[in-house]
Amino acid sequence: MPYAQRTVIYSFDYSSFSIPELESKAQKTLSNFIGFVRRTFDGLLENGEALNSIYQDCIAHSPKGKKVFDNWLASDGFRTHPAT
């Protein structure tokens, strides 16, 4: 999903790092973090839309569509498993 690039405005006094390389590294890290949050949010929206589409199709085309959808969400594929 394309979106407009935004300029990051820093309110923190990055010169307090005292080393230009560290100042630049911290600014880049913040910018990367903001990009990560944006991509994560976009991904959540896309997945939510896909899940809603499947849900709507289930209830539109099956008398037991809601139950089938709920069972699908409760299936092992959606569970998180601890690393072993």
Q: What is the mean pLDDT of residues 61-68?
A: 96
Name the band, by pLDDT with cuts 50, 70 and 90, for residue 60.
Answer: very high
64 Cα distance to chain centroid = 31
Planar angle of CA 4, 5, 7, nearest 5 degrees: 135
CB neighbourhood size of 25 (10 A):
13
Whether residue 62 contacts residue 69, with contact meaning beta carbons closer than 8 Å, is answered with no
When pLDDT is averaged across residues 40-59 and rounded to a whole number, the result is 96
Give the pLDDT confidence score for residue 39 in this predicted structure.
94
Strands annotated E in 1-84:
none
- Using one digit for the tens of pLDDT, what is the confidence trace for 3-28? 566 676 768 899 999 999 999 999 99
